[in-house]
């Protein structure tokens, strides 16, 4: 029996949804310690049997996705002495809130089959088989190694369309920069609402893309000359300023404009009280970065009060995770 524990991730921004230079997507993101996703799995002697269980409400929403991912790996094995598998979802991170839980769930399920049946697949191999990472490579790289991540997107001639990861079958993008992130405090506000997903997310890409090249150029300048140097030099003021700037340009500005007013107000609240703040992916999760534990506690309280008065939800304090998913025998 094995236990697999994953992290979650912040998706800070998609870089190029113009594609006039010949590539599309590209993104930056950060792996988080919490909230995470955990499963335990063991082999079944019954060929092709897939049993997925969960005792928690947070885990039950992933039962179908785990089953699909496991089936994809077992089907591709072509038999070869592979039996079945039993998986129990111990804990599931919030779904459809911008923390990448769908990718972590699918990769964890695929990795369970890979380990139990000694298939020798890489994380990237598994991602292709379970259909994740087709737009952003951040979630796959978070599962593999953690830290702060920049990916290089895809050739537009091969992808041909603007689509979110869950609807794209392109392989995960190449990783251009992956580095341990400083031990700064990360405050998360997790509203009790769901972000865009499935057909709604696909429709947004169709309506908003391609975005103007000038915005892609502006965002690229911020990332290359502010965000990345700030990570390397561990300069939280520079990093925070870059995060605030990113919220006002490119595809991220459009993602935020489509949110309900309370989410935009939460971003402003976080920006006023941290070094930098923004929305992860399509939201509604909002994050703030600070290097003060006291400030982090204060901001978490402010965020919780705001959530309690508006849409509900919770706030937590976490940190970057500079390692990938944890796989161990139990």
Q: What CATH number corresponds to the domain at position 175? A: 3.30.230.10
Least confident window among 192-196, 198-202, 223-227, 270-274: 198-202
Mean pLDDT calculated for residue range 42-69: 85
Residue 27 in any domain: the answer is yes
In tens, the pLDDT along 199-258 reads: 778 888 889 999 999 999 999 999 999 999 999 999 999 999 999 999 999 999 999 999
Residue 330 in any domain: the answer is no
* Cα 232-144-67 angle, rounded to 5 deg: 145
Rounded distance between C-alpha atoms, residue 290 and residue 270, angstroms: 10
Contact 208, 254 (CB under 8 A): yes
Last residue of a domain, one of 179, 197, 226: 179
Statement to judge: residues 141 and 263 lie in one domain: no
In tens, the pLDDT along 81-103 reads: 567 899 999 988 888 899 999 99
For residue 66, is pLDDT > 70?
Answer: yes
pLDDT of residue 60: 81
Which residue segment(s) compose the domain that 154 sits in?
2-179
For residue 273, is pLDDT > 80?
Answer: yes
Statement to judge: residues 200 and 270 lie in one domain: yes
User: How many other C-beta atoms are found inside a 10 Å radius of the C-beta of residue 128?
Assistant: 20
Task: Could you list the beta-strand ranges (E) of the chain.
Answer: 2-16, 23-44, 50-54, 84-91, 148-151, 154-155, 175-179, 185-191, 276-279, 286-290, 313-318, 326-329
Statement to judge: residues 135 and 9 lie in one domain: yes
Statement to judge: residues 148 and 218 lie in one domain: no
Residue 94 in any domain: the answer is yes
Statement to judge: residues 37 and 157 lie in one domain: yes
- Domain CATH for 189: 3.30.70.890
Question: 263: which 2 tokens?
Answer: 């989410």
Sign of the alpha-carbon torsion through 276, 138, 38, 145: negative
For residue 164, is pLDDT > 80?
Answer: no
Residue 175 in any domain: the answer is yes
Statement to judge: residues 204 and 175 lie in one domain: no
SS3 274: coil
Statement to judge: residues 123 and 260 lie in one domain: no
Last residue of a domain, one of 179, 204, 231: 179
Q: What is the mean pLDDT of the chain?
A: 92
In tens, the pLDDT along 100-133 reads: 999 999 999 999 999 999 999 999 999 999 988 8
pLDDT band at 170 (very low <50, low <70, confident <90, very high): confident
Statement to judge: residues 26 and 124 lie in one domain: yes
In tens, the pLDDT along 277-327 reads: 999 999 999 999 999 999 999 999 999 999 999 999 999 999 999 999 999
SS3 183: coil
Statement to judge: residues 28 and 171 lie in one domain: yes
For residue 166, is pLDDT > 80?
Answer: no
Number of domains composing the chain: 2
Last residue of a domain, one of 179, 211, 234: 179
- Residue 35: cis peptide before it, omega within 30 degrees of 0: yes
Residue 323 in any domain: the answer is no
Statement to judge: residues 194 and 84 lie in one domain: no
pLDDT of residue 287: 98
Statement to judge: residues 124 and 210 lie in one domain: no
Statement to judge: residues 241 and 197 lie in one domain: yes
Q: What percent of the chain has pLDDT over 70?
A: 95
In tens, the pLDDT along 43-52 reads: 988 777 899 9
Contact 89, 53 (CB under 8 A): yes
Residue 198 in any domain: the answer is yes
Residue 95 in any domain: the answer is yes
């Amino acid at each position: 029996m094995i236990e697999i524990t994953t992290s979650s991730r912040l998706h800070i921004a998609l870089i190029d949804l113009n594609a006039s230079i010949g590539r599309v997507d590209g993104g930056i993101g950060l792996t988080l310690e919490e909230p995470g996703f955990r499963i335990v799995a063991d082999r079944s002697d019954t060929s092709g049997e897939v049993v997925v269980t969960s005792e928690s409400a947070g885990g039950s929403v992933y039962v179908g996705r785990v089953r699909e991912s496991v089936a994809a790996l077992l089907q591709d094995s072509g038999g070869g002495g592979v039996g079945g598998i039993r998986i129990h979802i111990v804990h599931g991170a919030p779904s459809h809130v911008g923390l990448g839980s769908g990718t972590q769930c699918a990769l964890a399920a695929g990795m369970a089959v890979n380990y139990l049946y000694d298939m020798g697949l890489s994380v990237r191999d598994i991602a292709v088989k379970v259909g994740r990472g087709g737009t952003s490579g951040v979630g796959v790289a978070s599962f593999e190694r953690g830290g702060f991540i920049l990916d290089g997107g895809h050739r537009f001639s091969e992808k041909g369309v603007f689509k979110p990861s869950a609807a794209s079958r392109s392989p995960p993008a190449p990783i251009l920069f992956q580095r341990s992130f400083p031990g700064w405090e990360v405050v998360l506000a997790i509203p009790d609402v769901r972000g865009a997903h499935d057909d709604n997310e696909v429709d947004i890409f169709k309506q908003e893309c391609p975005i103007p090249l000038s915005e892609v150029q502006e965002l690229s300048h911020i990332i290359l000359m502010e965000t990345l140097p700030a990570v390397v030099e561990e300069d939280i003021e520079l990093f925070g300023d870059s995060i605030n700037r990113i919220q006002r340009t490119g595809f991220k500005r459009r993602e935020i404009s489509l949110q309900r007013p309370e989410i935009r107000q939460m971003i402003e609240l976080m920006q006023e009280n941290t070094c930098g703040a923004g929305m992860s992916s399509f939201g509604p999760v909002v994050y703030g970065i600070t290097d003060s534990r006291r400030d982090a506690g204060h901001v978490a309280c402010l965020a919780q009060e705001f959530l309690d008065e508006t849409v509900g939800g919770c706030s937590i304090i976490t940190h970057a995770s500079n390692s990938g998913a944890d796989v161990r025998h139990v």
